[in-house]
C-alpha cells in the first residue's frame, strides 16, 4: 500500500485540471487591447497629451548599455482607467479598486453597425438585452466591452474625436459613440457588472454635456476603461480580461494595460 502522505498527494493531483497540473495555460492566445503611448496618443482636447523625454541613452564608460527616460501624462488619456472617484466624491480611487473588478470574463457587445449609421450613437438597454438573448447569458459578474469599431480610427484625431482642434472650445465639436445614461443606470440597478469598457474616448458619447453614464457608473464603484484598442478579435463570450492600471495613490484614473485571453479551442 502507498504511504498515507503519497496517497493524499495522489488524490490532490487527481483533482487538478490536467493543463494546470502540467503547467500549460488554461486558455488560448493573448490579445493586447492597449494603444501604445506616444506623441500620437489621443487625449481629451483640454489635455496637453503624452510627453516622452529621452534620456542620455547609450554605452557607458564601463562598457554596458544604459537607457532611462521620463514621461509626463494626464491620468485620462490614451488607453486608461476611469476610477470611480473620477465622477464620484466618495468613489474608489485608482489604488482602492479591488482586483476582482479588473479581472474577469468578457462580454463583448457589438454595436458597430449602429455606430456607422450614427457617429454619436448611444448604446441602449435594447442593445444589451439583445446580447443576452443571443447568447443566453446575463451581463452579471462580467467585464462588458462595447465594440463600436472606433478603435480602427486611431490615431486620426479628426476621425476618432470628430475634431482635431484642442482647447476648451473643441469639446463642443466632439462626436463619437457612447453608452446611454439610461443603459448605464439599468446595468447598475439590474445587472452586477464588474467593469465596463469602450473603444472610444469616453463612456458618454461625444455630444454629452452632463456625463450621465460616468456619474451613474462611478457612484456605483464600477470601473470604466476608455480608448480600448480594437476588439475585433474577441468573441462575444469566452475571453478573459485583465485590465491593470498604474496604481496611483488617490488617483481618479491612470494609464491602463488591458489584455484578453481567448478561449482555448477544442
pLDDT digits (tens, 9 = 90+) for 7-19: 444 444 444 444 3
- Residue whose C-alpha cell reads 439583445 in the numeric block: 130
> 178 in a domain, yes or no?
yes
Domain membership of residue 13 (yes or no) is no
Q: 4 or 247: which carries more pLDDT confidence?
A: 247
- Rounded Cα distance between 20 and 78, Å, is 35
Query: What residues have CB less than 8 Å from 246, skipping those under 6 apart?
Result: 94, 254, 255, 256
Range of the domain at 165: 27-36+75-261
Q: What is the pLDDT of residues 63-73, one digit of tens each?
A: 999 999 999 99
Q: Give the integer Cα–Cα distance in Å for 157 and 169.
A: 15
Whether 46 maps to a domain, the answer reads: no
Mean of per-residue pLDDT scores for the chain: 92
pLDDT digits (tens, 9 = 90+) for 210-254: 999 999 999 999 999 999 999 999 999 999 999 999 999 999 999
CATH code of residue 225:
3.50.30.50
Quick one: pLDDT band at residue 27, thresholds 50, 70, 90? confident
**pLDDT of 162 over the 90 cut:** yes
pLDDT in tens, 104-124: 999 999 999 999 999 999 999
Instruction: Give me the number of domains the chain comprises.
Output: 1
With a CB cutoff of 8 Å and minimum separation 6, the contacts of 33 are 79, 228, 229, 230, 231, 234, 241, 258, 259, 260
First to last CA, the chain: 38
Residue 150 is assigned to a structural domain of this protein: yes
Please tell me the pTM assigned to this model: 0.89
Flag whether pLDDT at 23 surpasses 60.
no
Q: Is residue 226 part of a domain?
A: yes
Q: Is residue 5, in this structure, part of any structural domain at all? A: no
Could you identify the residue written with the cell 476621425?
Answer: 159
Matching residue, cell 476608455: 226
Note whether residue 193 is domain-resident.
Answer: yes
Does residue 25 surpass a pLDDT of 60?
no
Amino acid at each position: 500500500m502507498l504511504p498515507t502522505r503519497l496517497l493524499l498527494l495522489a488524490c490532490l493531483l487527481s483533482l487538478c485540471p490536467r493543463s494546470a497540473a502540467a503547467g500549460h495555460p488554461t486558455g488560448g492566445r493573448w490579445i493586447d487591447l492597449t494603444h501604445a503611448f506616444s506623441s500620437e496618443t489621443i487625449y481629451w482636447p483640454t489635455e496637453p497629451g503624452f510627453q516622452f523625454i529621452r534620456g542620455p541613452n547609450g554605452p557607458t564608460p564601463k562598457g554596458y548599455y544604459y537607457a532611462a527616460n521620463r514621461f509626463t501624462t494626464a491620468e485620462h488619456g490614451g488607453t486608461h482607467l476611469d476610477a470611480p472617484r473620477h465622477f464620484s466624491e466618495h468613489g474608489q480611487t485608482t489604488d482602492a479598486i479591488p482586483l476582482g473588478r479588473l479581472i474577469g470574463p468578457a462580454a463583448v457587445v457589438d454595436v458597430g453597425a449602429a455606430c456607422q449609421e450614427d457617429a454619436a450613437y448611444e448604446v441602449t438597454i435594447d442593445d444589451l438585452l439583445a446580447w443576452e438573448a443571443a447568447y443566453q447569458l446575463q451581463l452579471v459578474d462580467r467585464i462588458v466591452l462595447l465594440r463600436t469599431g472606433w478603435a480602427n480610427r486611431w490615431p486620426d484625431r479628426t476621425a476618432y474625436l470628430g475634431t482635431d482642434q484642442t482647447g476648451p472650445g473643441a469639446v463642443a465639436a466632439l462626436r463619437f459613440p457612447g453608452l446611454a445614461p439610461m443603459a448605464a443606470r439599468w446595468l447598475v440597478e439590474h445587472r452586477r457588472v464588474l467593469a465596463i469598457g469602450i473603444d472610444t474616448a469616453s463612456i458618454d458619447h461625444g455630444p454629452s454635456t452632463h456625463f450621465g453614464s460616468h456619474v451613474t457608473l462611478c457612484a456605483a464603484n464600477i470601473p470604466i476603461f476608455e480608448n480600448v484598442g480594437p476588439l475585433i478579435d474577441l468573441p462575444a463570450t469566452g475571453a478573459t480580461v485583465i485590465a491593470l492600471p498604474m496604481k496611483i495613490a488617490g488617483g481618479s484614473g491612470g494609464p491602463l494595460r488591458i489584455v484578453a485571453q481567448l478561449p482555448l479551442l477544442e
